[in-house]
């Protein structure tokens, strides 16, 4: 299993970024995907997730209404991609963002429930 994030960068407050998580070796039909972030000196925080069982999304209160998770509905699971659209970005959104995957996870933002992780992509929001 391989997860590769991309799309991070530097953006001004109020701007938008779209992160991508390219997955190989797993199927989004049975693996749920979570997005997490870790700011300097802080623990890993769950941002949002999408469940494989019903494709329902769940977000943390800190990003609800600003971030959206979606899946590229390709018929080829070997090239599936999950997106994190981030709008109305704030300086406190600055962090390394990770995507994670695992089987049988439903609506969880607990990092301990995810066994597969990408390498992360840096998002920096300036004033």
Ramachandran category for residue 98: left, alpha or beta (phi over 0 → left; psi -120 to 50 → alpha): beta
pLDDT at res. 73: 63
Tokens of 42: 């802080």
pLDDT at res. 23: 87
Q: Give the whole-number percent of the chain exceeding pLDDT 70.
A: 94
Interval 51-70: pLDDT, tens: 887 889 999 999 999 999 99
Give the C-alpha separation, 84 to 81, whole Å.
10
A 10 A CB-CB count for 88 gives 13
């Amino acid at each position: 299993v391989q997860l590769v994030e991309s799309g991070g960068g530097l953006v001004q407050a109020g701007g938008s970024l779209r992160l991508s998580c390219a997955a190989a070796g797993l199927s989004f039909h049975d693996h749920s995907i979570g997005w997490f972030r870790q700011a300097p000196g802080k623990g890993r925080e769950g941002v949002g997730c999408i469940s494989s069982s019903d494709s329902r999304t769940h977000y943390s209160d800190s990003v609800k209404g600003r971030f959206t998770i979606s899946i590229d509905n390709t018929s080829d699971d070997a090239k599936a991609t999950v997106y994190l659209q981030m709008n109305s970005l704030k300086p406190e959104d600055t962090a390394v963002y990770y995507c994670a995957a695992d089987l049988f996870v439903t609506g969880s933002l607990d990092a301990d429930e995810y066994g597969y992780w990408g390498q992360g992509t840096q998002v920096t929001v300036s004033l």
